[in-house]
Amino acid sequence: MNDLANRVETLHRLLNQYNHEYYVMDNPSVPDSEYDKLLHELIHIEEEHPEFKTEDSPTVRVGGEAQATFNKVRHDTPMLSLANAFNEEDLRRFDARVREHAGKVEYMCELKIDGLAVSLKYENGRFVQGLTRGDGTIGEDITENLRTIRAIPLKIKKPLTFEVRGEAFMPKASFERLNKEKEEAGEQAFANPRNAAAGSLRQLDSKLAAKRRLSIFLYSVNDFTNFHATSQSEALDELDELGFKTNQNRKRESDIEGVLEYIKYWTEKRQDLSYDIDGIVIKVNDLEEQDELGYTQKSPRWAIAYKFPAEEVVTTLHDIELSVGRTGVVTPTAVLEPVRVAGTTVSRASLHNEDLIHEKDIRIGDSVVIKKAGDIIPEVVRSLPDRRPEGTETYHMPTHCPSCGHELVRLDGEIALRCINPKCPAQLVEGMIHFVSRQAMNIDGLGTKLIMQLYDNEIIKDVADLYYLTKDDLLPLERMGEKKADNLLNAIEASKENSFEHLLFGLGIRHLGVKASQVIAERFDNMERLFEVTEEELLEIHDIGDKLATSLITYLNNEDIIALIDKLRAKNVNMKYKGIRTSEIESDSEFNGLTVVLTGKLHNMTRTEASKWLEAQGAKTTSSVTKKTDLVIAGEDAGSKLTKAEKLGTEIWSEADFIQKQNEVDQ
Ligand code: IVH
């Protein structure tokens, strides 16, 4: 038995080594066949002796049991995105802002990999959980699929507990192979490697994901406690040493001119890469300077993403279709001869409104130039009047709603035409689509088509009806099976537990966005209280303006709305705020307002627990020691941050000091 244990250990070691050589270093020392042979030996041993099967065994690379759904998990810290730059001017403006706040800085230039952001958690050096970005706050647990990505180490060289983030992607070669297979099997091919990667990571059966040959580049460390790095470039080097795959085409540049050179180089060379990139990410290299620059609501001020210019192509405009949105706005959409642009086939594009159509002189039958704004949203740039066929006419919007026939109006100062019939079917359906969307009630599996089917068959008339759906309602629908129906009903049931702000946002009240929903839910706690609120009370809140206050009060006084809320309440849809309250911060705590750095290994709590406790006391935790740091809490092996704190004369506590203080405060 002991021999077998030794053999298993040897197999783990060799397989991990060969894997790292092949997938991370691109430098294999043995042929593939050797890897496969050893892997099969290990699979065989594990089958015979299941006690040797472990979570980090190299055999998990082939995938495991299929799952029913992905669990939703809250990120320890939100996964933000980057602000975009589209030209040299945007970049120079970014540079000027950075220099204004942080002086002259060094930049780290990295390729912007066109894949999906994921977060990987390691505990004591072992890969334990991997999440998608999701809405930035809550992601999905796709650990099983990520384990099959060979470039992700299941075990790293040090027993660290931390989180890394990076971009999972499908290399061009894997993509071509996959699409060829799909075509041969008569299946729909993927539009581009990014979609293929997304589709693969959303496979509930990780055995299928394993076949997709995805890869990853890690680009950030979420928690520097156990790192020595003082800059992004050192952090990436440290990730390399631990066994992670980082992109080696990164380069430090001492100023914006260097950054522009780097961009120019990769704009020309990007075709030669074995994976897709959609731009260049520019980051302030020094971590202290990053801290000084800080964050806006959505993105760091210390980084920007330069997006490559959009590809332009010419196609024909066959027709202009009209759609009615949630708020009754009627939008014209261009129906185009399908054409490939920036990796996908485009057949429709929004024309926004009549004024724009006239400005661009666009007529049905025209040849038009299209591109994808930000490489995502198709847009008609202009028409080519020189190529215009005979008999075309200037386009005019209709006078009546294409959905319900009600007369359309232009509200004061608006360009848009609106249908103001509250019972307009198109608006109701759009409202339901909004209700189930991710930032609202986040109900998976309820797409536009299904909502339209339910509405057209008179199974649902309003959003509350969703909570009255039964399996018998669903099963007769097109393309609906037992399993799909169960999943959908479960997702609907689960959404009842959402915190109040989700419902509030989901109701689609005019001018009420995600942020204001959050503020209002936190301030007034529940629906009963909200019904009593006055316009004056609302206006006292910093983020709330006249338009929103009026719109909210009008909404809450509407009889139909009161009935709708009652209907939701009858099904126990939660109407109470469940998030953290800013007011719960202990404002008289001695930690209030302090900037604290946690470094080194803590033994009695995790770093997240420590930061959460500090944040509840009103302190801010940051990752690097600067002049602005008030306190450093140093665990075991604290390293360079401790040295720095000593040099700056910052107050330093041991974990024991910290626990003692916590006990005093918590009493
Ligand atoms: S840094 C705060 N570095 O681009 C976000 N992002 O919005 C820090 N991406 O969501 C991201 N390559 O998915 C960073 N080298 C790179 C990247 C990269 C691709 C993606 C990432 C992010 C999006 C920017």
Residues 6+ apart with CB under 8 A from 433: 326, 448, 451
The residue from 53, 72, 104, 112 that is catalytic is 112
Please identify, by atom number, the ligand 1 atom nearest to the C-alpha of residue 250: 15
CA of 82 to the centre of ligand 1 (A): 7
pLDDT for residue 586: 61
CA of 655 to the centre of ligand 1 (A): 34
Please identify, by atom number, the ligand 1 atom nearest to the C-alpha of residue 112: 12
Asked if 236 and 219 count as a contact pair (C-beta separation under 8 A), the reply is yes
Confidence of residue 183 (pLDDT cuts 50, 70, 90): confident
pLDDT for residue 667: 65
**Residue 464, Cα to own-chain centre: how many angstroms?**
28
112 classed as catalytic: yes
Please identify, by atom number, the ligand 1 atom nearest to the C-alpha of residue 247: 15
Q: 323: part of which helix (H) or strand (E)?
A: strand 312-324
Ligand 1 pocket check for 147: Cβ under 6 Å: no
Ligand 1 pocket check for 218: Cβ under 6 Å: no
What are phi and psi for residue 409, nearest 5 degrees? -130, 155
* pLDDT, tens only, 483-495: 999 999 999 999 9
d(CA 60, CA 8): 14
d(CA 32, CA 25): 15
CA of 112 to the centre of ligand 1 (A): 6
What are phi and psi for residue 380, nearest 5 degrees? -85, 120
d(CA 215, CA 273): 14
Q: 482: part of which helix (H) or strand (E)?
A: helix 482-495
Ligand 1 pocket check for 110: Cβ under 6 Å: yes
Ligand 1 pocket check for 375: Cβ under 6 Å: no
Asked if 379 and 312 count as a contact pair (C-beta separation under 8 A), the reply is no
pLDDT (mean) for 599-620:
81
Ligand 1 pocket check for 64: Cβ under 6 Å: no
Confidence of residue 321 (pLDDT cuts 50, 70, 90): very high
Ligand 1 pocket check for 282: Cβ under 6 Å: no
Ligand 1 pocket check for 220: Cβ under 6 Å: yes
Asked if 201 and 145 count as a contact pair (C-beta separation under 8 A), the reply is yes
Asked if 657 and 598 count as a contact pair (C-beta separation under 8 A), the reply is no
Confidence of residue 285 (pLDDT cuts 50, 70, 90): very high
Residue having the nearest C-alpha atom to atom 16 of ligand 1 = 112
pLDDT (mean) for 555-564:
94
Residue 375's nearest CA partner among 266, 306, 278 is: 278
Ligand 1 pocket check for 167: Cβ under 6 Å: yes
* pLDDT, tens only, 141-156: 999 999 999 999 999 9
In the chain, the percentage of residues whose pLDDT exceeds 70 is: 98
Residue having the nearest C-alpha atom to atom 12 of ligand 1 = 112
**Residue 16, Cα to own-chain centre: how many angstroms?**
30
* pLDDT, tens only, 76-129: 999 999 999 989 999 999 999 999 999 999 999 999 999 999 999 999 999 999
* Pocket-testing residue among 82, 262, 266, 296, ligand 1, by greatest number of atoms within 8 A of Cβ: 82
Asked if 347 and 335 count as a contact pair (C-beta separation under 8 A), the reply is yes
pLDDT for residue 613: 84
Ligand 1 pocket check for 305: Cβ under 6 Å: yes
pLDDT for residue 376: 67
CA of 375 to the centre of ligand 1 (A): 15
